[in-house]
Amino acid sequence: MANNVKINLKKYHRALLSEVLPFELPIIYNNNGFFAIYENKDKNELIYSLYRKIFSNNDCLSTIPYSYKIYKTENSVRYISIPNPTIQIRACEFLEKYDSVLIKILSKGKKTSLRYPIKISSTLYKNNKLEKKYKFKSGQIIENNDDDLTKYYISYFSYNYSRLYQYYNSNEFLDLEKKFRYLWTTDISNCFDSMYTHTISWAITKNKNYAKSQKRKPSIFHDLDKLMQHSNHDETNGIIIGWEISRLFSEIILQEVDRQVISQLENKNIIFEKDYYLKRYVDDYFLYSNDLYKLETIYSVLSDVLHTFKLNLNTSKSLKLVRPFITPQSRAVESLFLILDTFKEDIYKEKKFNNINSKMNNIIRNIKIIAKSEDANYSNIINLAANKICNDSLTILGSENKFHLKDNLLNNIFLYIKLSAYLISIAPHIRACNKFILLCQQSLEFLSTHDLSRADDFKYEIFLLLRELSNSKTHSRNDVCLNNINFFISLTMLNDSHKLSEDEILDIFGYEKPDDIKDLSYFEITSILFYIKQKNEGVEDLYMNIRSKIEETLKNKIIKFNKNNKDLLLRDTEQILLILDCLSCPYINMSVRKEIAIKLNELFEYASLNEIERMSDIDFKKTFKYSWFINWSDFSFLRTLVKQQLYFKNKMVYNSSAI
């Protein structure tokens, strides 16, 4: 049970820590450094001056988000986007101005909406089974302690149902099942990609023509419309996926859709809360009734109203259920968990599995049979199985003092790790992948605190599994996905004992030789730099060729900018994130970092003339040590992954199973 601790509600920019970034990020990426620079808590005037010059007074700036791919299913990907930091700040300012208005507007849809903000969140969430291992502070968190805020802050708003599974497990769901015989479920096809930004004014004013006549006047809908456009290269068709602001935007529009559906059905003498119920979780719809003819009409009216907002139902995902309301996936999950719980009990009994591969193959075969027999979504079942296995493993490791035969425990945990690695290779959903990395981290910690005969062999097996997962060639070179990057980063947990060669790193990212890597993306460059770290004095640089090629690429990227085209740098999210993070990166040669700092000074004049050139190396390191978005030096796998699990429980995350 989490401890809720009061925070300062006047810190509107705390939204930088929760509302403006996707959950699906490299594990070394966050806004903690950006948040600290925003506040200038360390009183570094030069860095704060650089921040002001770049990110202030850009209200009219149209930006290009940084988009990347995550796995949607085993055969497809979804694009997730990081909004430009300038847009992130504007989003904080928007919330400061309109947060209470948003709550007032969106509370009107509480009869249909399952996910709307009910109040401004006033708490930090503190407590986790792994806190003690990280030596988190116990007791009350000091109010306004920014370090604690960055560790524990999860959400700007509190929601009635933050996750869909909470609705399935609620009394509300059971009451509707008791009242209605039929349930139809459906969702909107490519919802966010299809959103037309100007419809926000239609939703608030309820009048398209009036909205068009008022579109240039300052108001919540005008400001939100502009914010969404400026976040996405001035596009009016489609909104970026990932940040909470898009979900708030869509909620306003879809609540108006709900109201129009209810009104039109009333004209047909089909009465809401009497003849039917409509429930919606973001773009997932739940239609309840005792009359199939009325359900057909409800579905048709919903489709028609959505069409007026340039949206369409995804008919291929529609599902028609008869009471009891249980889906094929739900039935599969019940059978799946029964098998895995039995397996866990065997481990608690310290049962020794002599043939790990045979036991693993048996479990995999049973998972396949369950998915096939129930006609469930195989990718989702695999994902749930991987999550369950990782959770069980972490529970067992957390209670390892109860086990007498440590070598048996190690053997069984290795079985869990191999099994979850296999499942993740088929369905690499972000939650399961990050949970697997946490399992590896905890297993390595267990090995470091116990004298076990096979410890080195076990570490090497973890290394091989992580290397294999990071080198998944499911897609082409241009489709390197986030999960691959996170697995690659996680290899640094074993850096002291097991290192990748230059050729292995190049192969992971789809290159044959260092000269080919000029087209590396921002995430790829920063993750490689994080992996290769800093060469030790007097020791041969194992990654000299990759490092020099990355440095050459960086110099080529920034040299093309001048005072006449500096806005191009500001607008391009990937470019500005890369330049700022490499400026602070301790693993890049000092001469290159100074070139970047000098060039930025030429463009934005954040320091006095020649101040940068005159800096000694020591002074430069001290001045530019602050991380912006990539956590270069103060990174903890445990702290980061624990917070991600807490975040997952409280926020909507893409590509996670509903049940």
**Continuous segment of H or E residues that includes residue 624:** none
Instruction: Kindly report which listed range (175-179, 286-290, 597-601, 645-649) carries the lowest average pLDDT score.
Output: 645-649
Q: How far is it, in rounded angstroms, from Cα 168 to Cα 581?
A: 42
Amino acid letter, 366: N
Q: How far is it, in rounded angstroms, from Cα 48 to Cα 282?
A: 38
Given a cut of 80, whether residue 477 has pLDDT beyond it is: no
DSSP state of 237: B
pLDDT of residue 145: 43
Beta-bridge partners for 313:
188
Q: How far is it, in rounded angstroms, from Cα 84 to Cα 20?
A: 9
Tokens 């509190």 correspond to what residue?
Answer: 158
Amino acid letter, 515: D
- Give the residue among 127, 25, 33 at the shortest CA–CA distance from 70: 25
Given a cut of 90, whether residue 598 has pLDDT beyond it is: yes
pLDDT of residue 382: 87
DSSP state of 498: -
Which tokens sit at 259?
């109201």
DSSP state of 518: G
- Give the residue among 79, 316, 125, 169 at the shortest CA–CA distance from 658: 169
123-126 and 76-82 as β-strands: parallel, antiparallel, unpaired?
A: unpaired
Q: Ranked by mean pLDDT, which of 15-24, 172-181, 343-352 comes out on top?
A: 172-181
Q: How far is it, in rounded angstroms, from Cα 633 to Cα 53?
A: 26
Burial class (CB in 10 A: 0-12, 13-18, 19+), 62: middle
Instruction: Kindly report which listed range (80-94, 275-289, 342-356) carries the lowest average pLDDT score.
Output: 342-356
CB 54 within 8 A of CB 638: no
Task: Give the model's confidence band at 48: pLDDT under 50 very low, under 70 low, under 90 confident, else very high.
Answer: very high
Q: How far is it, in rounded angstroms, from Cα 498 to Cα 574?
A: 31
CA 563, 568, 572, 573 torsion-angle sign: positive
Hey, what's the torsion of the CAs at 34, 40, 44, 50, to 10 degrees? 50
Which tokens sit at 174?
């059971």
DSSP state of 31: S
Ordered DSSP codes for 344-366: HHHHHTT---S-HHHHHHHHHHH
CB 154 within 8 A of CB 650: yes
pLDDT of residue 659: 37
- Sheet containing strand 182-187, edge to edge, reads 276-281, 284-289, 182-187, 319-322
pLDDT of residue 124: 59
pLDDT digit string, tens, across residues 208-260:
554 454 455 568 888 999 999 999 988 888 899 989 999 999 999 999 999 99
Whole-angstrom CA distances from 547 to 478, 517, 554 are 21, 11, 11
What is the mean predicted confidence (pLDDT) over 185-190?
93
CB 83 within 8 A of CB 240: yes
Instruction: Kindly report which listed range (105-119, 432-446, 509-523, 633-647) carries the lowest average pLDDT score.
Output: 633-647
Alpha helix positions (H), 108-145:
131-134
User: Across all residues in the chain, what is the average pLDDT?
Assistant: 83
Q: What are the φ and ψ backbone dihedral angles of 172, each rounded to 5 degrees?
A: -60, -45
Q: How far is it, in rounded angstroms, from Cα 149 to Cα 518?
A: 38
Alpha helix positions (H), 268-327:
292-308
- Give the residue among 185, 196, 304, 168 at the shortest CA–CA distance from 252: 196
pLDDT of residue 103: 93
DSSP state of 219: S
Q: CB neighbours of 217 closer than 8 A, spacing ≥ 6?
A: none
Given a cut of 70, whether residue 149 has pLDDT beyond it is: no
Q: What is the CA radius of gyration of the chain?
A: 26
Q: How far is it, in rounded angstroms, from Cα 83 to Cα 17?
A: 13
Q: Is 288 left (phi over 0), alpha (psi -120 to 50) or beta?
A: beta
Q: Is the peptide bond before 514 cis (omega within 30 degrees of 0)?
A: no
Q: Ranked by mean pLDDT, which of 26-35, 193-202, 411-420, 634-643 comes out on top?
A: 26-35
CB atoms within 10 A of CB 90: 24
Which tokens sit at 469?
């997962």
Q: CB neighbours of 1 closer than 8 A, spacing ≥ 6?
A: 127
The better pLDDT of the pair 319, 302 is held by 302
pLDDT digit string, tens, across residues 376-411:
778 888 888 898 899 888 888 877 555 666 667 777
284-289 and 117-120 as β-strands: parallel, antiparallel, unpaired?
A: unpaired
CA 369, 370, 376, 380 torsion-angle sign: negative
**Continuous segment of H or E residues that includes residue 145:** none
Q: CB neighbours of 27 closer than 8 A, spacing ≥ 6?
A: 434, 437, 486, 489, 490, 637, 640, 641, 644
pLDDT digit string, tens, across residues 67-125:
998 877 666 778 899 999 999 999 999 999 999 999 999 999 999 999 999 988 876 55
- Give the residue among 41, 3, 31 at the shortest CA–CA distance from 144: 41
Q: CB neighbours of 36 closer than 8 A, spacing ≥ 6?
A: 42, 146, 150, 626
Amino acid letter, 286: F
- The rounded percent of the chain whose pLDDT value lies above 90 is 43
CB 17 within 8 A of CB 150: yes
CB atoms within 10 A of CB 483: 26
Ordered DSSP codes for 538-588: TS--TTHHHHHHHHHHHHHHHHT--TTTHHHHHHBHHHHHHHHHHHS-TTS
Task: Give the model's confidence band at 653: pLDDT under 50 very low, under 70 low, under 90 confident, else very high.
Answer: low
Q: CB neighbours of 231 closer than 8 A, spacing ≥ 6?
A: 63, 65, 83, 84, 87, 239, 240, 245
pLDDT of residue 134: 39
Whole-angstrom CA distances from 197 to 93, 230, 254, 305 are 19, 11, 13, 17
**Continuous segment of H or E residues that includes residue 332:** helix 328-348
Amino acid letter, 616: S
Given a cut of 50, whether residue 136 has pLDDT beyond it is: no
Q: Could you give the 3-state DSSP secondary structure of residue 23? A: coil
Q: For 151, how many CA atoms within 13 A lie in the half-sphere containing its CB?
A: 23
Amino acid letter, 638: L
